[in-house]
Every structure is written in structure tokens, then in C-alpha cells.
Amino acid sequence: MSNNTDNTVWKKILPVDDIPVMGSRILQASVGPIAIFRNAQDEVFAILDECPHKGGPLSQGIMHGKTVTCPLHSWNIDLSTGCAQEPDEGCAKSFALKIEAGQVYLNLEEIQAPHA
């Protein structure tokens, strides 16, 4: 089973160790600010740093496992999808990532503005 059709270009962003545990770092990408979170299990998630409610800075929220609570009005956002948990609705864009040799990579195409 080969996967030769995958032309994804992965861009090295930063070492996992540079992200505080249960915290985040911001990448200013042309698509917008991307919050890169790390939880206590060293899982890493990348979503747009704009709450689907009113654009609150999710990177400043409190993490619990795989969710972050928005600092503005306390919506809980699932970090793996970027979507608000019920009863709230809406999603922040989430970004594909991979970790290789302790480095976080994002899909270059996804983090560029559509016509950059």
C-alpha cells in the first residue's frame, strides 16, 4: 500500500519542547495567527487563534486534556477539531500537523493565505 499521491509539503515550525506543557505558542502565518498547543501527554494541536464565538485568543485559554477554554466567555473548544463543545456551535480552523524527531511540522499549503 503506497501513498505516492501525497504531495504535502511539511514546514518545520518549532521543537515540541519549545511549547510550554499545557500551554501554547503562536505562529504568525499568512492565514492568520495559529495557536500551537501542547498538553500533559505531549500531544500537540494547531488551530487558528480565534474563538469561533467572537474571536477570543484561544492561546490564552486554560487547557484541560484535549480542550481549551476560551478566556473571553468560557466556551470549550476541542483542540483536535477546533470546534466548540455543545451546547455551543462553531469551529476555529484546525491545521494538520506532524511531529518528527521532536519537531512540529505544519502543512505549508494550509498555513498560507489562499492567494499568497
Which runs of E-coded beta strand occur in 1-101? 10-15, 23-29, 32-38, 44-48, 62-64, 67-69, 76-78, 94-95, 97-100
Nearest alpha carbon to residue 95 among 3, 41, 33, 7:
33
Q: According to CB under 6 A, which one of 8, 20, 42, 54 is a site residue for ligand FES?
A: 54
Q: According to CB under 6 A, which one of 34, 44, 51, 106 is a site residue for ligand FES?
A: 51
Q: Which of residues 13-32 bind ligand FES (CB under 6 A)?
A: none
Nearest alpha carbon to residue 44 among 9, 74, 14:
14
53 counts as binding ligand FES under rule CB under 6 A: yes
Stretch of 12-20, 32-40, 69-77, 99-107 contacting ligand FES, by CB under 6 A: 69-77
70 counts as binding ligand FES under rule CB under 6 A: yes
List residues near ligand FES by CB under 6 A.
51, 53-56, 70, 72-73, 75
